[in-house]
Structure 1
Amino acid sequence: MDKTYASAADAVADIPAGSSLAVGGFGLSGVPITLIRAIQALGVDGLEVVSNNCGVDGWGLGELLSEGRIRRVIASYIGENKEFARQYLSGEIEVELTPQGTLAERLRAGGVGVPAFYTATGAGTMVSEGGMPIRYNSDGTVGLVSEPKEQRPFDVFGAAKEYVLETAISTDFGLVRAAVGDRHGNLQFEKSTRNFNPLAGMAGRITIAEVDRLVEPGELDPDEIHLPGIYVDRVIVLSAEQAGELPIEKTTVRPREAAGASTSSTDSRGHA
């Protein structure tokens, strides 16, 4: 039952080229950067990534993206990453844009064995009707578009409306970042780093977690476990230096009206 590995390199060593990865994180918050860099060092390419976004230029999944390691992305957001947008519009990468809540539920459904579900989100739009660009040609024309999805009416709370059928997502591997984990793989996330991490962990057939701190089984109160160890296969413990790499995505500074005025920012652990 001891799921700990000696290093990130050991934990990702069997990830082959062409694998699909569900990756936790939201912006720069809760990104499993050590595992991402271990995959980068492994040298595999042709990856399909499922994540809220694809990192930013030069950090997170953006590090794999900049080296041309990613073939396809299922995500909700292209912003904050110029290289992601460039590769998409130039036809170097396929992108399946998915509403954020739908993406979250598709990952959760994959983790619990629900093959598909209906949602009102996207019904009557290009999400359901098809035609959304997935891949562009190098000349800027559209090379591949999304297919139409099944729609049907449901009467919910006394009002009939159209719902669209969305399929579950499961991936070869899941990569997550947690604040605390035990040797059985039970995980606890800190504040906003919880984001997509539990869902990515559920969706991976083999899930690998990097944790800031390792405790022994039984030390975590069951009510404080955000992702049970049944979903987690491998755990690596970060060094103090690795755990402390918490870049700030955006820094907001208000005008200094008086001496000693404060600044406001948010780091990747979700702290203000």
Structure 2
Amino acid sequence: MKRTLVALLAGASLFPLAGPPAVAVAPSAARPAASTRYAAARHAALDLVPGIPRSARRPAPGGRQVHIEYVPRSEAGRGARAGRCTRSAGPFQRQAERYLRRRADGRQSAGDCRAIRRFQQTHRIAPATGYAGPVTGAVVRLLRARKDPNRAGHCPVRQERTACVDLDRQVMWVQQAGRVIFDPVPIRSGQPTMETRTGTYRIYLRRRYHISNLYHTPMPFAQFFDRGEAFHGVEDDIYEGLGSHGCVNLTWSDARNLWYLLKKHDLVYVWGRKPSG
């Protein structure tokens, strides 16, 4: 009898307790070191840095946020001077050329640079030097996704509201019965070693004003869907930084609009993998 009881207790310890926690899951002890190594190596092959130092940034007219592009170290700060076109082809040159209906050869020309600069100016990407870096590439992906976000059929088509989170393109939208009811918006998912988990979930907790008990940072319009991972707004640039601690970050206004659309128990479907750049 005693042996049977011991065996049952040992077996029970292998199964997690049911029910998701209402707070973010703490990272493992090894995570900060791995994240630091990644931060040091980010864009190492291209040696990319923010094109405008934080100390030199100015708010855009009307208070609209400016998205800071990552450029070669030799060109950092160039956007603050008279608009000079870069001769360098960025890692997303071909994608930008294709979207702008130019010859997609991946090589920079004077015409390519002028077209990419106009695109950057329109979408508040600085410095607008024509260098197609990660931010320009992200905006191109967002605009292409808005035409038909579920064209590849990755997000399940259900009669109920479904929040579709595409980590590959770093966008999310909401659809219902095959119709998009919340247009694609940019997201920032988990950084390396803290990746946003993929799978099918349901929103289990909503808190309009929430403070992370692990990181002590505001999480406005938080809608939790998987063991502490949530949709929530951020005040900083959605394209800045390595990523979140696992949550799906949105701009403050996008998070607010999503808050008024989704409800508890709504479906959330997450797939893909965040681009390394």
Structure with the bigger percentage of strand:
1
Please indicate the TM-score interval, normalised by the length of the shorter structure.
under 0.3
Higher relative contact order (CA 8 A, sep 6+): 1
**TM-score scaled by length of structure 1:** 0.25
**TM-score scaled by length of structure 2:** 0.24
